[in-house]
Amino acid sequence: MEHPYPYREISPWVERPADLQAPLSHDLDADVVVIGGGYTGLSTALSLREQGVDVVVLEQGFAGSGASGRNAGHLAPTIGKDVPTLLRFFGRERASQLVRFADAAVDYTEETIRKYDIDCDYRASGNVMAGVHPKHEDKLRKAASAAHELGADMRFLDGAEMRERGLPEAFRCGIHEERGGTLHPGRFVLGLRRAALAAGVRLFEDSGLLSLEDGARVVARTAAGSVRADFAVLATNAYTRSTGRRKRAVAPLRVSMLETVPLDDAQLEAIGWRGREGVYTAHEVLESFRLSAQNTIVVGTKVVRQGYGGALPSGNRPEAFAAIHAALRERLPALHDVEVAHAWGGWIALTPDFLPQIGAEGRNGNVLHGIGFCGHGVPQATLMGAMLACRIQGREHEWESALRRRSLSWPPEPLTWLGGTLLNAAFAAVDRRTDRQVRALSRD
């Protein structure tokens, strides 16, 4: 059957770079070998290189071909499932530290964009978590007030304030996360790649790690060469299982996205949305919406899919794209007929407590990891690079204590798959009910 959506293997945000770096074809020595060339790996490599450290990055595709070149581009201070859950799990003090960590990650990313002069259409519009049904109002009001008390720059917007901002009508009320905004994720990761190459990072593309040997100096082997180094860094997020390490640390979830063709002036006028805030809904599995600098709408998530045993669930799922397309039409009815230009997907890495993990392992404690961004990696993976670089240099980054806790793993299969599948089905049922209620309201 012909696929009804124009599917891209990676995404419309990135192409294989013209200056693709040659694969590793010999044995070499370095101070540090980083596995993975996304935000985490490139940011780690850049931070280290600036301190004069000799860094090699091994990337199985091209740098930016993972989630960093596929995401929706919301740069937001969201952390954990939501603030009330953070408070329940971690208590006031730690929750406050985590909220400030998430703010710091946004600030660090903005600083990185400025420092390397990365032209990535960054727009500091903030993001809005929007209620689509009156029942969301109370929940969002309470969450906004809890977040505000913890020191976050978040504010509840009632219906009148949402309309004043020109946000589309389907978004009835919301929490405005004032820090951050939206960016072009591909240009951001390719900008980091360019900066890393200019700084003298040795990047090998089409160079997947095959094995990582422990030792006072670790040895990272690819099909045609090896890197011997004092430290290895796993910057492989959802792909971590492929390194043979920390196999149950993250559960990869497949997330799908659509992008429309550019809207014309009449369509832009019809939807309003003057402030161009990023928007995600208060569904159990959110819908995300944003306008790009090219006046396209990028919309995604809505349904997620979990693989078995940490495997990456395959993409190209017409039913996921159809669900996202239906959400686009329901929330922005003025765009009912707008054409979809691209469909793609990628994998996010879920940890059991919804927080990223930083740590070290191996006989010599010299295999580090910074993984598990739970869909918030645009800012948090970028800051993670600075944190990993500090660790390697024997210092503790000011934000490391925020993430210090007992690092949980997912239970062995079939438990994780069964648990995840049941939870996912329960979330989908709640969301279907919400959507039915929203439709009933608009008929009244």
Ligand X SMILES: Cc1cc2nc3c(=O)[nH]c(=O)nc-3n(C[C@H](O)[C@H](O)[C@H](O)COP(=O)(O)OP(=O)(O)OC[C@H]3O[C@@H](n4cnc5c(N)ncnc54)[C@H](O)[C@@H]3O)c2cc1C
Closer to ligand X by Cβ: residue 80 or 346:
346
Please identify which residue in 41, 191, 310, 352 interacts with ligand X, judged by CB under 6 A: 41
Q: Is 420 in the site for ligand X (CB under 6 A)?
A: no
Pick from 226, 242, 281, 416 the residue near ligand X by CB under 6 A. 242
Site track 379-398 with ligand X (rule: CB under 6 A), x = hit: x-x-----------------
* Rg, the chain, Cα only: 21
Angle, alpha carbons 89-251-325 (nearest 5°): 100
Strand ranges for 271-422 from DSSP E = 278-281, 287-291, 297-306, 340-350, 357-361, 367-371
Nearer to ligand X by Cβ, of 141 and 221: the residue is: 221
Q: How many CA atoms lie within 13 A of 52 on its CB side?
A: 0
**Reduced 3-state DSSP string for 103-168:** HHHHHHHHHHHHHCCCCCCCECCCEEEEECCCHHHHHHHHHHHHHHHCCCCEEEECHHHHHHCCCC
Contact between 68 and ligand X by CB under 6 A: the answer reads yes
Instruction: Using the rule CB under 6 A, give the single segment among 168-176, 317-325, 357-365, 372-380 that binds ligand X.
Output: 372-380
Q: Which is nearer to ligand X, 177 or 435 (CB)?
A: 177
Stretch 121-160: interaction string toward ligand X, x if CB under 6 A: ----------------------------------------
Residue 40 as a binder of ligand X (CB under 6 A): the answer is: yes
Q: Which residue is nearest to ligand X (CB)?
A: 377
What is the total residue count of the chain? 444
* Number of other residues whose CB lies within 10 A of the CB of residue 362: 16
Residue 251 near ligand X by CB under 6 A = no
The residue behind tokens 């809890």 is: 146
- Angle subtended at Cα 112 by Cα 111 and Cα 117, rounded to the nearest 5 degrees: 100
Structure tokens at 207: 């160079």
- For the bound state, the minimum distance from the C-beta of residue 437 to ligand X, rounded and expressed in Å, comes to 26
Nearer to ligand X, 207 or 438 (CB): 207
Q: Is 241 in the site for ligand X (CB under 6 A)?
A: no
- The dihedral over CA atoms of 57, 63, 68, 71, expressed in degrees to the nearest 10, equals -160
- 39 belongs to the binding site for ligand X (CB under 6 A): yes
Site membership for ligand X, residue 243 (CB under 6 A)? yes
In the chain, how many H helices and how many E strands? 10, 18
By CB under 6 A, residue 377 contacts ligand X: yes
Nearer to ligand X, 184 or 438 (CB): 184
55 is a contact residue toward ligand X (CB under 6 A)? no
Helix axes 83-115, 135-149, angle to 10 degrees: 70
d(CA 270, CA 262): 14
Choosing from 6, 17, 23, 61, the residue that interacts with ligand X (CB under 6 A) is 61
Of 203, 257, 367, 383, the one binding ligand X (CB under 6 A) is 257
- How far is 214 from 365, CA to CA, in rounded Å? 9
Instruction: Rule CB under 6 A: say whether 368 interacts with ligand X.
Output: no
- Backbone φ and ψ for 54, nearest 5 degrees, come out as -85, 110
Rounded Cα distance between 434 and 444, Å, is: 15
Q: How far is the CB of 306 from ligand X (least distance, A)?
A: 13
Q: Rule CB under 6 A: is residue 102 a binding residue for ligand X? A: no
Category of 309 on φ-ψ map: left (φ > 0), alpha (ψ -120 to 50) or beta: left
Residue 252 in contact with residue 312, Cβ under 8 Å? yes
Which listed residue (65, 109, 296, 366) binds ligand X by CB under 6 A? 65
Nearest by Cα to 78 from 133, 153, 161: 153
Least gap, CB of 366 to ligand X (angstroms): 18
Span 343-362, contacts to ligand X by CB under 6 A:
345-348
Does 32 sit near ligand X (CB under 6 A)? Answer: no
Which of positions 180-219 make contact with ligand X (CB under 6 A)?
A: 208-209
Q: Which stretch binds ligand X (CB under 6 A): 62-70, 108-116, 328-336, 413-421?
A: 62-70
Q: Which residues bind ligand X (CB under 6 A)?
A: 35-41, 58-61, 65-68, 70-74, 208-209, 235-239, 242-243, 255, 257, 300, 345-348, 373, 375-379, 381
